[in-house]
Amino acid sequence: MTAAAESTVTFEGLFASSLPELAVPWQAEEAPEPGLLVLNDALAGELGLAPEYLKTPEGVRLLLGNHVPAGATPVAQAYAGHQFGGYSPLLGDGRALLLGELVDVAGRRRDIHLKGSGRTPFARAGDGRAVVGPMLREYLVSEAMHALNIPTTRALAVVATGRPVRRDTMLPGAVLARVASSHLRVGSFQYARATDNMELLRRLADHAISRHYPAAARAEHPYLELFASVVAAQAGLVARWMLVGFVHGVMNTDNMTISGETIDYGPCAFMDAFNPGAVYSSIDVGGRYAYANQPVVAEWNLARLAEAMLPLFHEDQEQAVAPAVEALGKFRSHYSDAWFNGMKAKLGIKGGPAGSKEGDEASELVDGVIALLKDGPVDYTQFFRRLGQAARGDDRPARGMVLDLAAFDAWAGRWAALKPDAGLMDSVNPVYIPRNHLVEEALAAATEGDMAPFNRFLDVVRFPFQERQGLERYTEGPPEDFGAYRTFCGT
């Protein structure tokens, strides 16, 4: 049955045809016994792909890369990257394929990408596979991020392959179908730059401009404007992570997009108790990607992007550096503006322009709330939500969370005097986040074949700001015996 999908949707191979040097045509590994675990009906609709079609045997095979739709040219993408600070000249999609792009019902071009689709020429020692738990984890966390209004790749489906995959134990294999505004990464530019083919580098930059920052084409210096746009997008993105307590966990340059979307949910986690040094990834022994380091790392990664793009800024290397440094220099002000404005919204206050009396008062209140959080183990998400209750006149729930009551009272008195807007606070401070102990519980059940806890949890995180009766357990921190949470890479 060739139903709706292919009659209404045409796949393109735009990346593959525009940048063949970065695209190796490849086929997905055949899945022995496909089983659709979860499908994002709403996202399928946005893409113009009928969910009913994607549930048919042919549709499921499409989601695995085993049925290649008309117009699609599956490719493995080449990229380089700095991993934990060390440069790898060749990474690329070792276990993923870009199926192609399609123009969605709103007219936006989106990538359809398959993760776990088998070994490619970039697989090195890897088996090219992915397993059910981590793919469902990416599905859940990326959908939660989207619901939190944070730019992110989206999850269209997870399909079990029916093949056992060797990890520490044998685990069920799966493929994640991922949707992104593109899969261009900082590492794509590093790879192109390393080829010494300046025409390729330019073509890549033109492709990035036309997909993400078309206004840059009209700027006096389009490539500099492209770089400045990525700097601004990433500064805004990382500020949003910080505001919700998200730790990405593996901010290598190959995991940083040009679009400004969050990508590659591996060892990521949301903080329970506020802790600037929070690290969850088992391989991040030095804490390079700890919560509070994320802005610094983003800036470091963008410096690597600037190096890769340098020949595009000016023929003369010497003259290229100054404008690149100037553009990168804006990262800090973009980041602090986005973070400070976000914090003011979390506190329900407006503040005033920097330097004004109101501006200074807001800045002191933001510093003050961070000091309260640092002082004791305080659940980050719960605390801000309970401050919303304080804004409505009952400060007991929030007050009961901090150790230094005198400090809280002094802070809360000044804050309440500004008449914080509780409605605004509730629209930015989530009740529900993908809490680690609940993520683990849902994934453990799914790995055993029970999708019910996962599906319930997905429904919860899809509406993070709306408190609902009966969902109390999803608002609570981890049980005492949950311990220091660790996430694992190479999943």
Q: How far is the CB of 260 from ligand AMP (least distance, A)?
A: 18
Pairwise CA distance, residues 86 & 283, whole Å: 14
Residue of the chain from 264, 272, 284, 299 that contacts Mg ion (CB under 5 A): 264
Binding mask 256-275 for ligand AMP (x = CB under 6 A): --------x-x---------
Q: Which stretch binds ligand AMP (CB under 6 A): 127-135, 303-311, 313-321, 347-355?
A: 127-135
Q: From the list ligand AMP, Mg ion, none, which binds 266 (C-beta under 5 to 8 Å, kind-based)? A: ligand AMP
Q: Which of residues 384-443 bind ligand AMP (CB under 6 A)?
A: none
Single out the residue of 226, 284, 269 nearest to residue 138, CA to CA: 269
Q: Answer yes or no: 206 catalytic.
A: no
Q: Is residue 173 involved in binding ligand AMP (CB under 6 A)?
A: no
Pairwise CA distance, residues 315 & 312, whole Å: 7
Torsion of CA 306, 309, 314, 316, to 10 degrees: 90
Residue of the chain from 255, 257, 301, 436 that contacts Mg ion (CB under 5 A): 255
Q: Is residue 95 involved in binding ligand AMP (CB under 6 A)?
A: yes
Q: Which residue is nearest to Mg ion (CB)?
A: 264
Q: Is 185 annotated as a binding residue?
A: yes
Q: From the list Mg ion, ligand AMP, none, which binds 272 (C-beta under 5 to 8 Å, kind-based)? A: none
Structure tokens at 54: 């994607």
Q: Is 59 annotated as a binding residue?
A: no
Structure tokens at 480: 């005492």
Q: Is residue 301 involved in binding ligand AMP (CB under 6 A)?
A: no
Q: How far is the CB of 248 from ligand AMP (least distance, A)?
A: 11
Q: Looking at beta carbons only, is 79 or 384 nearer to Mg ion?
A: 79
Q: Is 473 annotated as a binding residue?
A: no
Pairwise CA distance, residues 193 & 483, whole Å: 44
Pairwise CA distance, residues 44 & 46, whole Å: 5
- The full DSSP string for 185-227 is BHHHHHHHHHTT-HHHHHHHHHHHHHHH-GGGGGSSSHHHHHH
Q: Is residue 66 involved in binding ligand AMP (CB under 6 A)?
A: no
Inter-CA distances, 280 with 18, 164, 255, 461, Å: 39, 27, 17, 21
Pairwise CA distance, residues 60 & 454, whole Å: 20
Annotated binding-site residues for ATP read: 92, 94-95, 115, 127-128, 178, 185, 264
Question: Which residues does the annotation place in the binding site for Mg(2+)?
Answer: 255, 264
Which residues form the catalytic set? Answer: 254
